[in-house]
Chain A
Amino acid sequence: MRKMWYNGRRTNLYIGESPNGGTMLSLDRISFSVETEQGRKQILKDVSFTIDSPFTVITGPNGGGKSTLAKIISGIYTPDSGKIYFNGQDITDLGVTERARLGVSYAFQTPVRFKGITVSDILKIAAGKDLSVSEACECLSNVGLCARDYLDREINNSLSGGELKRIEIATVLARKTPLAVFDEPEAGIDLWSFGSLIKVFENMRDSVNGSIVIISHQERIMNIADKIVVISAGQVERQGTKDEILPYLFKHDSMCDALKGKV
């Protein structure tokens, strides 16, 4: 069962070789709604954008629909309408597992807790193979954790919020997929580690040669973005390079408040 999903196919998935000229992921008029007690609630409406550069940051106010979008990309939610293309392939109808095996990773905003599953277990599952101690060590030291202290720890309530978040990031790093979506990776991570976290993303970009999508409210993360997409009230409010978007974000008062609230 523990085989490498990419088995030498990984290079085929690299960004430069995708059929439609370097677009890793493209969302085409995605709409999504849920049934609530008060009736149908529209959460995403006609969201279209492409991810074609190493670093894309998705930002916007709380409740805007960012995490929902990440779940649509990873296949956890199925859109009511619209299409998703990964490397030119229509993946709209593929399930979570199939997308994961194609090379999509998603680090949850709220990491899942388990009973009896250890850090070393989940890293093995993520890597799709047995990891040597030094490989596991590398994964964990990237997120500032010492393998000796953590490999045998269970992923349950005994871990602090920040530790869980770091382990969540480490599992996605261990997968080394061409597309990785991180949902507010900085949340709960202390300021001291924040700089190293940014370095980790930069290293990841250089070694995997794929695309990293970071959902974030942090200006320091937006500063390393090639592209910023602002999602608000379920729609793309604006998108562009960081030079185009950052001035807009920080003069826009209501948005500013929302962002300040998170930082």
Chain B
Amino acid sequence: MIDQIEKNLLKEIADLHGIPEGAYNIRKNGQTESRSENANVTIVTKTDKPGIDIYVKPGTTKQSIHIPVIISKSGLEEVVYNDFHIGQDAEVVIIAGCGIHNSGACASKHDGIHTFYLEKNAKVTYVEKHYGDGEGTGEKIMNPQTILYLGENAYLEMNTTQIKGVDSTDRITKATLEAGASVVVSEKIMTHGKQYARTEFQVDLNGEGSSAHVVSRSVAKDQSHQIFDSLINGNSKCAGHTECDAIVMDDATVSAIPRINANNVEAALVHEAVIGKIAGEQLIKFMTLGLSEKEAEEQIVSGFLK
């Protein structure tokens, strides 16, 4: 049974108000709570370690797969391995996410290791939301790893959001791309209090004509600390672009460590990083429209992370 607190977690991470349409696997407090498969999507529990294998048949279209994880038991720590096998020409939307409600004093921790194998021409939109709440003092920790293997001409778009309540996160995203494949990553992070967030991207553009576009937008408030660490290896004729755009407020700190390696003369790689406080003229513009400085700040931050 899913109770009210858990319902709220599901809503925050997956916009789910009830049972999702399409295939799904809901994991709750370390166990599969419910699952639904269909003709195109098969879900198999792993036998050697916690986690599942998800198989999407070649040529599948218009499918959504929800795989939310919720933890409402304080002190639960888990490492989960989910592997996605996406068949040739398949086109799917995968909605993952982790919500932790911690009302106790012990740390709750979910480390999700998601590996995607995209066959030729497969197309995936991967949405991931992280959310924490609960009145307890126990930390809410998430260390997600996303490993992407993109076959020829495959395409993956990944949207990750972590806006509230996660005390500590160490995120690793690695992608290997074959010819003509492309990956688009958009990350949004807001940290407050004493939170810590580190995100690391490593992209290997191996195939000719492959491309990567990684954009991270973040806001660091209070005494929180963020690290953005990205590495793109251009190993063939390819195009890579990473962008880190961070707003720093109060006593927060943000570091960006970008690296781009052109290992081929035809690799076109760009990195942009902008870190700074909210532009004074943006605040003033909104104040001339009648907002207080605080209200102006809120509007600018929420627009930035929208």
Question: A interface vs B, CB < 8 Å?
Answer: 1, 5, 74, 76, 95-97, 100-101, 104-106, 108, 112, 114-118, 121-122, 125-126, 128, 171, 175
Contacts and interface: CB of A to CB of B under 8 A. Distances in A.
Contact of A74 (B279, B288, B306): B288
A116 B217 CA distance: 11
A114 B291 contact: no
Q: Is the interface of A mostly helix, strand, loop or mixed?
A: mixed
Contacts of B16: none
Nearest to A100: B290
Contact of B292 (A97, A116, A171): A97
Interface stretch (B52-60, B128-136, B297-305): B297-305
Contact of B288 (A105, A115, A117): A105
A112 B289 contact: no
A220 B131 CA distance: 57
Nearest to A154: B303
9 contacts: A100-B287, A100-B290, A106-B288, A114-B300, A121-B303, A125-B286, A125-B289, A128-B290, A175-B289
Contacts of B290: 5, 97, 100-101, 125-126, 128, 175
A115 B245 contact: yes
A122 B290 CA distance: 11
A121 B301 CA distance: 13
A112 B282 contact: yes
Contacts of B306: 116
A100 B288 contact: yes
B3 interface: no
A125 B295 CA distance: 10
Contacts of A74: 288
Interface of B: 217, 245, 279, 281-282, 284-293, 295, 299-300, 303-306
Contact of B289 (A76, A95, A116, A126): A126
A115 B217 CA distance: 10
B17 to A, nearest CB: 24
Contacts of B304: 115-116
Contacts of B284: 76, 96, 112
A126 to B, nearest CB: 5
Contacts of B288: 74, 76, 96, 100, 104-106
Q: Which 8 pairs from chain A and chain B are nearest by CB?
A: A116-B303, A117-B303, A96-B287, A100-B290, A112-B285, A116-B304, A97-B287, A116-B306
A125 B291 CA distance: 8
Name the residue in A101, A105, A114 with the highest tally of chain B Cβ atoms < 10 Å from its Cβ: A114
Contacts of A101: 290
A121 B299 contact: yes
Contacts of B281: 112
A175 B287 CA distance: 13
Contacts of A97: 287, 290-293
A156 to B, nearest CB: 10
Given A100-B289, A106-B288, A116-B305, 11 more contacts: A76-B284, A95-B287, A96-B287, A97-B287, A97-B290, A97-B292, A97-B293, A101-B290, A112-B282, A115-B217, A117-B299
A108 to B, nearest CB: 7
A255 to B, nearest CB: 30
Contacts of A5: 290
B303 A1 contact: no
Contacts of A122: 289
A101 B217 CA distance: 32
Contacts of A106: 288
Given A1-B295, A76-B284, A171 B289 contact: yes
Contacts of A175: 289-290
Nearest to B295: A1
Contacts of A76: 284, 288
Contacts of B305: 116
Nearest to A99: B288
A100 B295 CA distance: 14
A42 B304 CA distance: 38
Nearest to A113: B282
Contacts of A128: 290
B287 A114 contact: no
A95 B287 CA distance: 9
B298 to A, nearest CB: 8
A100 B293 CA distance: 12
Name the residue in A74, A104, A112, A128 with the highest tally of chain B Cβ atoms < 10 Å from its Cβ: A112
A114 B289 contact: no
A96 B286 CA distance: 10
Name the residue in B287, B290, B295, B306 with the highest tally of chain A Cβ atoms < 10 Å from its Cβ: B290
Contacts of B287: 95-97, 100
Contacts of A171: 289
